[in-house]
Structure 1
């Protein structure tokens, strides 16, 4: 699928009647995305691989891995007193850098997933998924609004659970 600021390709291959492998590659065009182009984020390639094993005709086990390099560039030596234009508005560089470093939720680079699905009938299935994003930290130094030295740091690790129901009509 091709969108204005993203390219996404997925291939799934059944290796055996019980084992399916899927590979996914995605490119995100952060440098030209509306609303993000002022933040100096690098374009990003996202790579993922996963598998599904049918333990029985009704019970499926899933696992996967995802890697994407953190797109946030570090601006060591930024001038927090200098005005910066963001979406046509002027604001102090300190505010812009704080948002760039702390406000972006995708700095984690490595993710593992586990899942299970159970088909009660051919039309009704329940699924549960777990994702762990391994911790990553980014740091940059510069000056605050008064010209004093400051260090900005963002650290992110994440765990999430997903639950979904499939009902085919």
Structure 2
């Protein structure tokens, strides 16, 4: 099974987020292969546009903080959504017990850094999980 999704994040309609984010497109691709109807192997990749605004407003949601643009840029650094590349992989086993499935997955966002006035944000994360359903 193959899947491709396009996701549009409409930040410009949200008072708070439109001050720090531009609208964003994401492309997500995934594949799942079933082996002998009980074992499922999955992998995925996603690319996100960097939504961080270059020219920020002087207020957030109608509130003008002291320090104007520098304070807004500081808030951007605290809410930085700068990771653009994500990979995931997983495996699932159907009916490990009658009616119970076991899933394991792992993924990560590649390291990205960006400077916002005097604040630099650097993000990189990886995760893994198990689930029984």
User: What's the counterpart of residue 157 of structure 1?
Assistant: 124
Cα RMSD of the aligned pairs, angstroms, is: 2.1
- Per residue, is there more strand in 1 or in 2? 1
User: What's the counterpart of residue 52 of structure 2?
Assistant: 72
**2:5 pairs with 1:29:** no
Q: Distance in 1 between matches of 2:111 and 2:19?
A: 26
Q: Is the 8 A contact 1:48 1:66 kept in 2?
A: yes
User: What's the counterpart of residue 50 of structure 1?
Assistant: 30
Q: Is the 8 A contact 1:72 1:101 kept in 2?
A: no
Structure 1 residue ranges (4+ consecutive) displaced by more than 4 angstroms after TM superposition: none
Identify unmatched segments of 5+ residues in structure 1.
Answer: 1-19, 79-83, 142-150
- How much does 1:34 deviate? 4.1
- How much does 1:157 deviate? 0.9
* TM-score between both structures, scaled by the size of structure 1: 0.69
**2:83 pairs with 1:108:** yes
Structure 1's 33 and 163: CA in aligned 2 closer, same or farther, altered over 3 A? farther
**2:62 pairs with 1:88:** yes
Equivalent pairs counted in the alignment come to 130
* TM-score between both structures, scaled by the size of structure 2: 0.85
* Residues 95-128 of structure 1 deviation map (CA, whole Å, 9 limit, x = unaligned): 2211112323x21000110001111257321211
Q: Is the 8 A contact 2:76 2:116 kept in 1?
A: no
